[in-house]
């Protein structure tokens, strides 16, 4: 029996990106489907979040995510440009957010096709693996989308024609995320039980094994 897991994911979250290699391996190794559900990052979902947070929060995330990537041998560098337009000196988040709205809506479009994990895995590497500066320019995203079996221009056109359709999908994801019992990303949810963080995938597998999770027959 194929088990099913929801994954609430933000394109700005380093830990969401760092969860992808183990997530892809889990899907390859086990009879499980991961339904990736994109949500907006806290900077958008919770206005003023960074101004209320301890000023050490952002510095620690930079330190910790970098060492996690190093330990796991995951290519890693913070995106250039940042998917969120934010003054990191004042922590003021701009009202106009072209990058994160586009990325999250594209994720929602891939979710509609039932292939958000494949799309997000391809796109996130362009942002985070350190090989691209100016990921929002040229054909970087289009090439990654094509490699994952998507037509980026067609996706952008569909979103431009009816952006509210994709906003409703994102809003539904955010409501389900909240209902799961956690607020952070990445959060995996299996049978209404949340598992927060890229370091909880082994625990998630353990829980699913108690519910009959089996390895794929690769012969």
Is the residue at 218 inside a domain?
A: no
Is the residue at 186 inside a domain?
A: yes
Give the count of domains, the chain. Answer: 1
The CATH number given to whatever domain includes residue 67 is 3.40.30.10
pTM for this model (two decimals): 0.95
* pLDDT computed for residue 219 by the predictor: 58
How is residue 98 written in tokens?
């072209």
pLDDT at 50 over 90: no
Is the residue at 214 inside a domain?
A: no
Instruction: Give the C-alpha separation, 11 to 154, whole Å.
Output: 20
* pLDDT computed for residue 51 by the predictor: 74
* pLDDT computed for residue 218 by the predictor: 67
Is the residue at 219 inside a domain?
A: no
Is the residue at 216 inside a domain?
A: no
Peptide bond into 81 cis (omega under 30): yes
pLDDT at 199 over 90: yes
pLDDT at 80 over 90: yes
Residues of the chain with pLDDT > 70, as a percent, come to 99
Query: What is the tens place of the pLDDT at every residue in 118-176?
Result: 999 999 999 999 999 999 999 999 999 999 999 999 999 999 999 999 999 999 999 99
Is the residue at 215 inside a domain?
A: no
Partnered with residue 87 across adjacent β-strands are 92
Structural domain range at position 31: 3-209
Is the residue at 197 inside a domain?
A: yes
pLDDT at 43 over 80: yes
Instruction: Give the C-alpha separation, 155 to 185, whole Å.
Output: 25
More confident residue, 84 or 49: 84
Q: How many CB atoms lie within 10 A of CB 80?
A: 12
Radius of gyration of the chain (CA): 17
Q: What is the DSSP letter of 91?
A: T
């Amino acid at each position: 029996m194929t088990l099913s897991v929801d994954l609430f994911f933000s394109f700005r979250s380093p830990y969401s990106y760092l969860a992808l290699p183990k997530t892809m391996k889990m899907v390859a190794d086990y009879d499980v489907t991961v339904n990736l559900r994109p949500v907006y990052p806290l900077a958008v979902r919770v206005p003023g979040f960074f101004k209320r947070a301890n000023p050490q929060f952002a510095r620690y995330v930079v330190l910790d995510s970098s060492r996690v990537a190093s330990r796991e041998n995951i290519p890693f560098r913070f995106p250039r440009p940042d998917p969120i337009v934010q003054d990191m000196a004042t922590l003021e988040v701009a009202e106009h957010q072209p990058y994160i709205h586009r990325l999250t809506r594209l994720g929602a479009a891939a979710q509609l096709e039932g292939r958000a994990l494949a799309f997000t895995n391809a796109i996130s590497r362009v942002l985070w693996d350190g090989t691209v500066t100016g990921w929002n320019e040229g054909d970087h995203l289009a090439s990654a989308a094509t490699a994952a079996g998507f037509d980026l221009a067609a996706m952008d056109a569909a979103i431009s024609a009816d952006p509210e359709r994709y906003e409703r999908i994102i809003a539904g994801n955010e409501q389900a995320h909240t209902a799961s019992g956690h607020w952070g990303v990445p959060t995996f949810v299996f049978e209404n039980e949340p598992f927060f963080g890229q370091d909880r995938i082994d625990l998630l597998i353990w829980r699913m094994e108690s519910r009959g999770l089996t390895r794929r027959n690769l012969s």
